[in-house]
Amino acid sequence: MIALLTLIAGAAGGLALGLVARPRRRATRRTSVEQPSATRQILLPFTGTTLSRRALDAAMRLAKVEGATLMPAFLATVPLHQSLESPLPKQCTIGMPLLEAIEQRAVREGVPVDARVERGRSYRHALSRLLEREQFDRVILSAADDPRSGLSGDDLLWAIDHADAEVMILRPAPQDTRVVSAGGLAGHF
Amino acid sequence: MVPERGHYKIFLGMAAGVGKTYRMLQEGHAELENGRDVVIGLLETHGRAETAGLAEGLELVPRRRVEYREQQLQEMDLPAILRRRPEVCLVDELAHTNVPGVEHDKRYEDIEALLAAGVDVVSTVNVQHLESLNDRVAELTGVTVRETIPDGVLGRADEIVLIDVSPEALLDRLRAGKVYPAARIDAALNNFFRIENLAALRETALRQVAEEVEAKRIVTEHVGTRNELLSETAPQAVGERLMALVEPYPGAQRLVRRAWRSAQRLGSQLDVLWIQRPGQRLTVEQESSLAALRTLTSVLGANLLIEESDMLADTVARVATERGTTYILLGRSREPRGLARLRPPLPQQLMRRLPGVDVRIVADRALRHEPTP
């Protein structure tokens, strides 16, 4: 009988505590809504056979801190005489091993990864299609030293103006020679 | 009785003057010395004394005269060769276009008639005559070749022998008057016979032969092994055909990429199959993953197939049979729950239902333990 009474008293006490605590939790939740929403998807577009190691490191660091998904995206260009939906196996032989290398590295570091591929008449067009199709919270772009490779300075400015996301442009540094390439793949791809 | 098709050997070169005709005639002499009945069906010496000299001792079937637009032209006499019925016939320049009015439009069609009659044929062609390479050769050299042959002509050959000389050696031969008469040398050197053209053509010829060898190797391996194991109901695939089993989640892309690389190495088609449960509603994440899979398969040139069924193994087996799949790739399955634990794992079910089809479980390479030094 005593045990039964103790149980009932305990349950009532717990319920009372719960009722008291609930508004506090609500208050906490309200506070968090007022803060900027957590970044969930970080887009990391690339175009060639290599990707700046600095850009990947930055993207991984941010993804870890923010609990975000890293979305490496290979941008491919389609010549004008081909349909925009044409297969691009030749360019894929360059892009797919690099996507694999990025994904392997992200998985090893415990960063969720969800890759993308996009086509366009130019790299900017491909990026624009990708941004139209999906929502990203942050876009990390690497300014290349070589103006002939990848996204040009104009493309980067365009991204700042048009991306409905926070755009982060990493300047090339003279000592920044490290790159991620398909050579770093674990095993046979 | 239909005679057995003759043996077809082609000497392939990068340009005129590499020595294809010379090698063809040497081959003729070797066959003659082995006691076989050899004739020359068609020979183009281009005025080269060495070539004409080597033709001595080999029986030549005279060309026939064909009248075309009030002109008397000469063509290979196919009916005369067929009547003569040699064991081996040498036919130069298989890309040649015949004068209208003879049996076939093209000389390679005449050769097909000889092969069908059981005659072994030795022939010659330059790489720029291949239809698929025509644009590339024009781009490389600025010269558009009008007499082209379908690539399948090379594919039907039993042997392709590349006659290779360095561009420098060929230019030396040209300057020495061994390729063209003196009056044509300067024009040739200034146009087609430039060292950069010859280097590009040489690379094209080498690649072409390498691809032919690769294609033949794959077909030979396939015919010799896998077909014996394929179930009788399965369509007999010409080559390998791969199928990757996916679900719409981010990791599926990795599986598709790996499957695509394997398909590339095998020179085969790739199908990507997702079996959707009837009435299954996709979450926003799954919708997004499915859209990404659609784009990825489209860019890679693979086929994304979606089937609705709750009989996973049966449906995969049906689709694989319909598509002539020879190779199935799948990722690691989730731990089974409930009654599903009583069923054998999916790979085993597939192996039982699809005898002769390879089943490969694709691992996540990122999780691989590197060997300790």
pLDDT tens by residue, A150-178: 678 888 888 888 888 889 888 766 655 56
ipTM of the complex: 0.72
Does residue B184 sit in the same domain as residue B249?
no
Does residue B56 sit in the same domain as residue B190?
yes
Does residue B277 sit in the same domain as residue B212?
no
CATH number at residue B187: 3.40.50.300
For a pLDDT cut of 90, what percent of chain B falls above it? 41
Alpha-carbon distances of B178 from A189, B185, B240, rounded to whole Å: 49, 10, 47
Question: Looking at the complex, does the CB of residue B265 fall below 8 Å from at least one CB of chain A?
Answer: no
Question: Looking at the complex, does the CB of residue A133 fall below 8 Å from at least one CB of chain B?
Answer: yes
Does residue B294 sit in the same domain as residue B207?
no
Residue where a domain terminates, one of B222, B253, B274: B222
Report how many domains make up chain B.
2
What distance in Å separates the CA atoms of residue B297 and residue B302, rounded to the nearest whole number?
5
The alpha-carbon gap from A153 to the nearest alpha carbon of chain B, in Å, equals: 27
Strands A138-142 and A50-52: unpaired
Q: Does residue A57 belong to any structural domain of this protein?
A: yes
Question: Looking at the complex, does the CB of residue B295 fall below 8 Å from at least one CB of chain A?
Answer: yes
Of A105, A113, A134, Cβ closest to residue B250: A113
pTM comes to 0.51
Contact at CB, B300 and A92, closer than 8 angstroms: yes
What distance in Å separates the CA atoms of residue B366 and residue B363, rounded to the nearest whole number?
9
Does residue B206 sit in the same domain as residue B349?
no
Does residue A61 sit in the same domain as residue A10?
no
Q: Could you tell me which chain A residue has the CA closest to the CA of B303?
A: A87
Does residue B203 sit in the same domain as residue B340?
no
Q: Does residue B174 belong to any structural domain of this protein?
A: yes
Q: Does residue B67 belong to any structural domain of this protein?
A: yes
CATH number at residue B327: 3.40.50.620
Range of the domain at B327: 235-367
Averaged pLDDT score across all residues of chain A? 75
Residue where a domain terminates, one of B222, B244, B267: B222
What distance in Å separates the CA atoms of residue A53 and residue B200, rounded to the nearest whole number?
36
Report how many domains make up chain A.
2
Question: Looking at the complex, does the CB of residue B9 fall below 8 Å from at least one CB of chain A?
Answer: no
Of A130-139, B139-148, B176-185, B338-347, where does the model show the most confidence? A130-139
pLDDT tens by residue, B224-247: 333 333 333 333 334 689 999 999
Long-range CB pairs of B222-231 (<8 Å, 24+ gap) are: B226/B326, B226/B356, B229/B355, B229/B356, B230/B326, B230/B355, B230/B356, B230/B357, B231/B321, B231/B354, B231/B355, B231/B356
Contact at CB, A103 and B366, closer than 8 angstroms: yes
* Predicted confidence band of residue B218 (pLDDT cuts 50, 70, 90): very low
Tokens 């609930």 sit at which residue?
A22
pLDDT tens by residue, A56-98: 888 999 999 989 999 999 999 888 877 888 899 888 988 898 8
Of B67-71, B173-177, B293-297, where does the model show the most confidence? B293-297
DSSP readout, B184-233?
Answer: HHHHHHHTT--HHHHHHHHHHHHHHHHHHHHHHHHHHHHHHTHHHHS-TT
**pLDDT score for A24:** 36
Range of the domain at A113: 41-184
**pLDDT score for A20:** 37
Sheet holding A138-142, edge to edge: A116-120, A69-77, A41-46, A138-142, A166-170
Report the range of poorest mean pLDDT among A33-47, A106-120, B237-251, B336-350: A33-47
Does residue A25 sit in the same domain as residue A98?
no
Q: Does residue B373 belong to any structural domain of this protein?
A: no
**pLDDT score for A22:** 40
Q: Does residue A140 belong to any structural domain of this protein?
A: yes
